[in-house]
């Protein structure tokens, strides 16, 4: 087990099979830099999902198709004192009748005050002069290469992860991804200093980051991304329409409860029916994201 510092010189706008930029062993820790998509203009973001520049791919020794790559998010540190977002609300979250009154797309800059632990608009809109939410770093887009030589734009997501924009992919969380190619070929990027559920303006507070993650290869198979925090376990479904994403996440959670907690389908339904929570990840990009989450206090491992 070792810690490696990698400085990228190129970035990718797709997650797929590509020449690895660096190799790590099972158990190793990676510290690397990510950048945001600040070069795109407002018109491009308004008419199409933007690509997210990814750092990677990283080859993880011992990861083989059928395995699971566990990625513990150790630290996410903004490397700039500013970030940016767009307004107004995305077309996908508005009633069709409200779209005609939607104002033009506008790009704004936020100050990231690490000492105060807050973010604040440089030029506040009326009524937001004192608005200063807490910094809450998260990874918007990360995952592993899909099977069959495929490559997915970093504007979307699938079974291999991708642009999920789920707020619980934050420091302290361990994310699990199904491995489909030798070495897993792991990518990460799209760091947000703060974001509400859904990424409903098409952006979190986008900025560059130094990220630290630790890898573990698990000799088990999963179908969709999973995650674990100190308090919860969750499964992620990525699809469109939204109900299909929910179905993927729910089915994966039912499987997990059987595999690790000894609950058959009927017992899992009793538990999930009363204590499950659903979180909305990305609802802006081509595939939507839903997380099916259960508090660990209801669970006993077997």
Q: What is the CATH number of domain 228-298?
A: 3.10.28.20
In terms of Cα–Cα distance, which of 241, 231, 238, 163 is closest to 195?
163
Q: How large a percentage of the chain has pLDDT more than 70?
A: 96
**DSSP code of residue 231:** S
Q: d(Cα 61, Cα 69) in Å, to the nearest integer? A: 11
* Residue in this structure with the two tokens 């998010």, named with its chain if needed: 73
Contact 63, 20 (CB under 8 A): no
pLDDT at 50: 65
pLDDT, one tens digit per residue, over 1-24 is: 899 999 999 999 999 999 999 999
- Higher per-residue pLDDT: 51 or 144: 144
Output the six-digit token pair for 113: 């005050």
Q: Specify the pLDDT at position 38.
A: 72
Is 3-220 a CATH 3.90.600.10 domain?
no
Angle at 57 between CA 52 and CA 60, to 5 degrees: 140
* Residues 249-288: tens digit of each pLDDT: 999 999 999 999 999 999 999 999 999 999 999 999 999 9
Residues of the chain with CATH 2.60.120.580: 3-220
The boundaries of every CATH 3.10.28.20 domain in the chain are 228-298
Predicted TM-score of the model (pTM): 0.95
Mean pLDDT (the chain, rounded): 95
Q: From residue 227, how far is each of 142, 264, 295 by CA, in Å?
A: 13, 21, 12
Name the least confident of 38-42, 76-80, 184-188, 198-202.
38-42
Closest CA to 85 of 109, 64, 67, 61: 109
How open is the CA angle 228-73-207, to the nearest 5 degrees? 125
Query: In terms of DSSP bridges, do strands 288-295 and 232-239 run parallel, antiparallel, or are they unpaired?
Result: antiparallel
Mean pLDDT for 150-172 is: 97
What are 39-85's pLDDT values in tens digits?
Answer: 444 444 444 456 899 999 999 999 999 999 999 999 999 999 999 99
């Amino acid at each position: 087990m070792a810690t490696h510092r990698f400085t990228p010189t190129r970035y990718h706008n797709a997650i797929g099979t590509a020449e690895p930029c660096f190799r790590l062993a099972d158990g190793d820790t990676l510290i690397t830099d990510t950048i945001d998509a600040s070069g795109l203009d407002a018109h491009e973001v308004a008419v199409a999902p933007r690509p997210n520049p990814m750092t990677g791919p990283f080859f993880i020794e011992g990861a083989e198709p059928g395995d699971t790559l566990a990625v513990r998010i150790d630290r996410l540190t903004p490397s700039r004192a500013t970030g940016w977002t767009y307004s107004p609300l995305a077309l996908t979250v508005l009633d069709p009748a409200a779209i005609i009154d939607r104002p033009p797309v506008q790009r704004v800059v936020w100050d990231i005050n690490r000492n105060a632990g807050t973010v604040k608009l440089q030029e506040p809109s009326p009524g937001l002069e004192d608005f200063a939410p807490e910094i809450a770093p998260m990874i918007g887009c990360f995952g592993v290469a899909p099977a069959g030589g495929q490559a997915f734009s970093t504007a979307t997501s699938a079974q291999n992860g991708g642009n999920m924009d789920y707020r619980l992919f934050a420091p302290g969380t361990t994310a699990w991804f199904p491995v489909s190619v030798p070495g897993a070929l792991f990518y990460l990027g799209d760091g947000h200093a703060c974001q509400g559920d859904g990424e409903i303006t098409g952006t979190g507070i986008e900025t560059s980051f130094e990220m630290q993650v630790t890898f573990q290869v698990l000799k088990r198979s999963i179908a969709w991304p999973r995650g674990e925090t100190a308090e919860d376990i969750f499964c992620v479904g990525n699809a469109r329409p939204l109900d299909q994403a929910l179905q993927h996440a729910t089915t994966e959670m039912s499987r997990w409860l059987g595999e690790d907690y000894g609950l058959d389908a009927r017992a899992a339904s009793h538990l999930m029916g009363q204590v499950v929570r659903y979180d909305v990840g990305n609802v802006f990009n081509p595939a939507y994201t839903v997380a099916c989450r259960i508090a660990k206090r209801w669970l006993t491992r077997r």
